[in-house]
């Protein structure tokens, strides 16, 4: 969250940090607050207080009247896996993954917050999200709007703020993030793209327009955490993605939202392994595949190639990488082993792969020694309780790798 000249940042495995933005080109760390239980996913600011949704610490409330010295007001009163937060009046509404629903906290006394109510995913009529929770929560007018994963957009009535009640719903595939602009809701669905919805009648959210990700050569990946980053400023919508960077959407025409810009980091996604040879870095990402980056000028990295064939999330998931001569050898948690010819860094070509139906699980790392590749991972024929061990791949002909042996080992 940004307030005045400062940005307040929480991190999944760390603490609260405050950055001075007076020179936006050179943000400076101005202050921080170590948390008793590190790890938060979201925060909202109201006045001189920051409200943090944390995992596993739950709700943390911090005094930020002096941004350089934030002070904890309360913490630990409402523990749990809290991943998104919205504030309305004397209440904080928090996505509670532990209990599969929405926790309502009375924060009228910030030093002693207490639970005032709870709305379960099972309270959504016809819910298909059993075992899931909500993803994101925002105040929309006099209501609450939830990105409710498989239940799409869910709108709650706040006539009784401590006990929100179901008002209406618009069904989508996997809703993970939303932003509000008046009575318009911008709902991002991992599978479907961006929905523009009218919630002026909370009981009947109405579709105004949609920007499907299947059009225009871009897509979203399944969010790594519960809540996708979405921000609305006027009629522009900014959407983050762990693999595909930042998408900017013009929503002035609500019936026809249009992608007008994007920023793709040089090597996006959760990266698994890297090898460097000469002027090139070879990188594999868990859902983004195989990258080759020109590193001749370290201050101006250039991505030369990017294997973007993973429309099917179950197709490939690279885990390890080795480079020998003109070949890159990649282990994969979905499809154990692949070989690429990288003699032309601009156009790497897959020349071989190993997939044994009798041991159809994946591998987690790879090492090359002589004419063999050794992979750690799963194997044997029991797909439900696979063995853990060592694959041996014959590389006598690198373009035609052959499975040689699997040795079962105890533990993982």
Instruction: Render pLDDT for 220-271 as a digit per residue (tens, 0 to 9).
Output: 888 876 799 999 998 999 999 887 788 999 999 999 999 999 888 777 677 8
Contacts 24+ apart (CB under 8 A), 386-395: 386/359, 386/361, 388/412, 391/336, 391/337, 391/359, 391/363, 393/337, 393/354, 395/329, 395/368, 395/371
* C-beta separation of 227 from 181 below 8 A: no
Tokens of 385: 């309780």
Give the β-pairing of 236-241 and 337-341: unpaired
Predicted local distance difference test score (pLDDT) of residue 77: 94
Question: What residue ranges of the chain have pLDDT lower than 70?
Answer: 129-131, 214-217, 225, 268, 308-316, 356-361, 378-387, 410-412
Nearest CA to 407 out of 372, 379, 370, 373 is that of 379
pLDDT digits (tens, 9 = 90+) for 27-86: 999 999 999 998 999 999 999 999 999 999 999 999 999 999 999 999 999 999 999 999
Secondary element (H or E) of residue 31: strand 28-33
**pTM strictly above 0.75:** yes
Report DSSP letters for 91-145, one per residue. Answer: EEEEEETTTTEEEEEE-SSTTS-EEEEEEEGGGSTT---TT----EEEEETTEEE
Residue 393 to residue 256: CA distance in whole angstroms = 52
Report DSSP letters for 155-216, one per residue. Answer: EEE-SSTTS-EEEEEE--S-EEEEEEETTEEEEEETTTEEEEEE-SSTTS-EEEEEEETTTT
């Amino acid at each position: 969250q940004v307030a005045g000249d400062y940005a307040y940042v929480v991190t999944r495995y760390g603490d609260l940090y405050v950055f001075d933005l007076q020179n936006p080109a050179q943000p400076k760390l101005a202050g921080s607050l170590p948390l008793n239980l590190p790890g938060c996913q979201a925060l909202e600011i109201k006045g001189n207080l920051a409200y943090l949704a944390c995992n596993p610490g739950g709700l943390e409330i911090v005094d930020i009247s002096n941004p350089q010295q934030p002070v904890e007001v309360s913490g630990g009163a409402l523990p749990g896996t809290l991943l998104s937060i919205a504030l309305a009046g004397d209440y904080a509404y928090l996505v509670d993954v532990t209990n599969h629903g929405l926790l309502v906290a009375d924060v009228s006394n910030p030093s002693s917050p207490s639970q005032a109510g709870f709305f379960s995913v099972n309270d959504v009529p016809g819910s298909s999200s059993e075992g899931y929770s909500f993803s994101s929560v925002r105040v929309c007018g006099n209501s609450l709007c939830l990105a409710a994963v498989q239940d799409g957009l869910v709108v709650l009535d706040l006539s009784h703020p401590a006990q929100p009640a179901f008002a209406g719903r618009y069904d989508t595939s996997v809703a993970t993030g939303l932003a509000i602009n008046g009575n318009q809701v911008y709902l991002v669905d991992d599978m479907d793209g961006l929905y523009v919805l009218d919630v002026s009648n909370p009981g009947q959210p109405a579709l105004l327009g949609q920007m499907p990700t299947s059009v225009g050569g871009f897509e979203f990946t399944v969010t790594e955490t519960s809540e996708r980053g979405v921000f609305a400023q006027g009629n522009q919508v900014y959407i983050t993605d762990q693999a595909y960077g930042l998408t900017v959407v013009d929503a002035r025409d609500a019936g026809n939202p249009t992608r007008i810009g994007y920023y793709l980091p040089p090597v996006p996604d959760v990266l698994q392994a890297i090898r460097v040879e000469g002027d090139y870095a070879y990188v594999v990402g868990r859902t983004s595949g195989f990258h080759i980056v020109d590193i001749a000028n370290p201050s101006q990295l250039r991505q030369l190639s990017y294997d973007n064939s993973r429309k099917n999330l179950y197709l490939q998931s690279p885990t390890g990488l080795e480079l020998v001569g003109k070949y890159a050898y990649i282990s994969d948690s979905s499809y154990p082993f692949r070989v690429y010819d990288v003699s032309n860094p601009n156009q790497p070509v897959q020349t071989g792969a190993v997939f044994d139906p009798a041991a159809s699980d994946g591998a987690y790392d790879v090492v090359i020694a002589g004419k063999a590749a050794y992979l750690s991972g799963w194997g044997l024929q029991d797909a439900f309780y696979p063995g853990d061990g060592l694959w041996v791949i014959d590389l006598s002909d690198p373009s035609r790798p052959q499975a040689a042996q699997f040795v079962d080992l105890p533990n993982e």
